[in-house]
Structure 1
Amino acid sequence: MIDRRCFLGMLLLSGGAVLSSCSNAAGKDSEVIPLFAERKDGDEAASDGAAEKVKVAFAALVSPQESFYKYQNLVNYLEEKIGRSIEVVRRQTYQEVNDLLGAGEVDFGFICSLSYVMGRDEGTLAGIAAPVIGGSSFYRSYLICRTDSGCNMLEDLQGKTFAFTDPLSYTGRLSMLKLLHDQIGADEGFFREVFYTYSHDSSVHAVHLGIVDAASVDGLVYDELAASQSDLVGNVHVIYKGPAAGMPPVVASALADDGLKSSFQNCLLGMVDDERGRIVLEELGYDRFEVPDDTNYEVIREAVAAVGESAVDESGAVRQMRR
């Protein structure tokens, strides 16, 4: 049994440090991370028609500081376009966001592809928009390790320390489990110890700093870091690229108002035709948003079918995936 300890090391990023915590049995006591700056008019908005607020949840694809810069302008843009105040709900894990969506406690969520497939197949959420990046509707997982680790192929990672991103991450966990299943006939026990970083850039930092020997990360995040912080990946190399899957989508709770869903979706899909929208898209590194094609996510269903219960969260509370 792998000792899943808390990832307690500080990963020093430009301008600050990221601390990530382990998920507990139920995942309910995870620390809520600060994604966005508090609004100065937050108190007034709460008293002047809180019912009019649209609640949007974010899980930590990248670390808090990076998330602020990545999504703040998008939130501001959406507020102006739909004419309603947006309350950002911050959660550390994909499971927490899925639970909020399922209960109707938030209207929309920015989640990963695996948590989308699970929620969609359970009937608790629907995909409304997915980004197109570099002309592609797909992304993939990268298996990375330090160049001085002596690891150049999957077999070399036996008995090494490994960083996953989130229990419900396709690129940050499931894709790696599928690779172990197919090529080695193994599971997480193949590694000496497994850590969870809860953001892809933190996983890259963990490998770069030698906190872990290897990690499974979102290839888009890795490529972006390689382009903007080449020193960060100077001692890191990619030894495997996983199969392509549909981009992480924006989703709506099944309990959200239909009119609101349509308005929110139209706003995202129409950004490419709006001058300010195109500026926000460029800041995000997106070409545009498109309606998600469910067939793009079939590779994820196939991976879950192959690895079984390993695709669920740490508590062992199995979320059966239904077609």
Structure 2
Amino acid sequence: MKNTLLSHNKYLLLIPLALSIILITASSGCFEGKEALKVSLGRTEAIGDQVANEITIHIGVFAMASPKTTMEYYQGFLDHLSDDIGLEVELVQRDNPAEINYLLETGYLDAVLVREDDYLEGHDDFGMEVIAVPVIHGDIHYSSYVVTRSDNNIGSLEDLRGKRFAFNSYRFNRGDIVPEYMRSEINGSPDQFFSSYIYSNSQDNFIDMIMQGTLDGAEIDCIMWAYYVERSAELSSNMKIIYTSPSQVSPAFAVHPDIDPGLKSKIRESLLNMHNTDEGRLVLEDMHFNMFVEMDHDTYSSYGDGL
């Protein structure tokens, strides 16, 4: 009886082994006559491109108007640059130019469009590098305007005495209580000259407030005047310029000194070639720029010295 059980158990142990051999043989037979699975490395380049396309380029600007108007002003430019270099481009706007410089210095921003003083300060502090500047109304310089309603009796800076005025906060953020060109007229504190005054960078709101009668005058960049006033028949017919400030060098399109050389080259070429395409020209016209021209530090700083 014992031998019978051992023999029976022996056969039971052989069954799984036999089944394994059958399965292995069957599996081997399934692959006979078929090509071996091929592994292609061709997708690695595509995956690399996909990762590159997920990079976002951050461009910083000092907000010259309300956030909505500033975004509308730059939207076409952002779209064009993004399509041209094949990367997503995002606008970062701040109310303080010093913060724009800080964000570029710390690497959060890749590029900026900043005024002359802020560029020169950034260059001295951490090597901010100018690569191009816009030509505005046929010139590499631009001005600010003092504006008011057409139907009032204000025709000069002196006529603003005792009136309500709005200063561009750009200068205030840099420590200037009043702009240099107004000091001879004000000859002291603005508290003694104006009945009331404010500082803000929302130049589109200045224009609306003048139209509504809550302000008598304001400082407006020539770019914002062209973008916001001249395109509106109502505004252009009901507002006037009473003073044009001395000119300053056009804003610098500058990059972080450690930006990838290939990316810097792509951005520079896109800017310099915008005026050569129909789409690019439309973007420039909407911004009231003629074109971008190549620029280096020595040339840019010499333009400022020549004023």
TM-score, with length taken from structure 2: 0.70
Cα–Cα, structure 1 residues 86 and 198, in superposed 2: closer, same or farther, change >3 Å? Answer: same
The correspondence for 1:298, drawn from 283, 290, 305, is 305
Cα–Cα, structure 1 residues 208 and 246, in superposed 2: closer, same or farther, change >3 Å? Answer: same
The correspondence for 2:79, drawn from 71, 76, 80, is 76
| Residues 1:181 and 2:183 are matched in the alignment | yes
Which structure shows the bigger proportion of residues in helix conformation?
2
Question: What secondary structure is seen at the aligned counterpart in 2 of 1:204?
Answer: helix
**2: CA distance, partners of 1:225 / 1:90:** 18
1:155-234 paired onto structure 2 within 5 Å: 155-168=158-171, 177-189=179-191, 190-234=193-237
| Residues 1:251 and 2:258 are matched in the alignment | no
Cα–Cα, structure 1 residues 155 and 275, in superposed 2: closer, same or farther, change >3 Å? Answer: closer
**2: CA distance, partners of 1:116 / 1:220:** 19
1:41-52 paired onto structure 2 within 5 Å: 52=55
| Residues 1:120 and 2:123 are matched in the alignment | yes
Partner of 2:4: none
Q: How many Å apart are 1:222 and its aligned residue?
A: 1.4
Q: How many Å apart are 1:213 and its aligned residue?
A: 1.9
Paired amino acid for 2:256 = S
Question: What secondary structure is seen at the aligned counterpart in 2 of 1:270?
Answer: helix
Q: How many Å apart are 1:238 and its aligned residue?
A: 1.6
**1: CA distance, partners of 2:284 / 2:179:** 32
Partner of 1:88: 91
**1: CA distance, partners of 2:205 / 2:122:** 26
Q: How many Å apart are 1:299 and its aligned residue?
A: 7.0
Question: What secondary structure is seen at the aligned counterpart in 1 of 2:170?
Answer: coil
TM-score, with length taken from structure 1: 0.67
CA contact (8 A) 1:94 1:168 kept: no
Partner of 2:110: 107
Partner of 2:266: 263
CA contact (8 A) 1:168 1:174 kept: yes
Regions of 4+ moved over 4 Å: 47-51, 172-176
| Residues 1:276 and 2:283 are matched in the alignment | no
Paired amino acid for 2:180 = K
Q: How many Å apart are 1:261 and its aligned residue?
A: 2.4
Cα–Cα, structure 1 residues 238 and 211, in superposed 2: closer, same or farther, change >3 Å? Answer: same
Paired amino acid for 1:181 = R
Q: Which runs of 5+ in 1 are unaligned?
A: 1-46, 301-323
**2: CA distance, partners of 1:130 / 1:173:** 25
**2: CA distance, partners of 1:118 / 1:169:** 16
The correspondence for 1:236, drawn from 232, 239, 242, is 239
Partner of 2:157: 154
Partner of 1:287: 290
Cα–Cα, structure 1 residues 91 and 277, in superposed 2: closer, same or farther, change >3 Å? Answer: same
Q: How many Å apart are 1:183 and its aligned residue?
A: 4.2
CA contact (8 A) 1:164 1:173 kept: no
**1: CA distance, partners of 2:289 / 2:230:** 16
Task: State the Cα deviation string for residues 165-185 of structure 1 (Å, max 9, x = none).
Answer: 223489x99696212224443
Partner of 2:68: 65
Larger Rg: 2
Task: State the Cα deviation string for residues 89-145 of structure 1 (Å, max 9, x = none).
Answer: 233333322221232220111233443343334445232221113322221111112
% identical aligned pairs: 28
Paired amino acid for 2:182 = L
Instruction: Give the paired residue count.
Output: 253
Question: What secondary structure is seen at the aligned counterpart in 2 of 1:55?
Answer: strand
CA contact (8 A) 2:53 2:86 kept: no
Paired amino acid for 2:304 = Y
CA contact (8 A) 1:143 1:215 kept: yes
**1: CA distance, partners of 2:289 / 2:92:** 23
Cα–Cα, structure 1 residues 284 and 157, in superposed 2: closer, same or farther, change >3 Å? Answer: closer
Task: State the Cα deviation string for residues 242-287 of structure 1 (Å, max 9, x = none).
Answer: 1122222322133433443232112211222334323332333322
Cα–Cα, structure 1 residues 154 and 90, in superposed 2: closer, same or farther, change >3 Å? Answer: closer
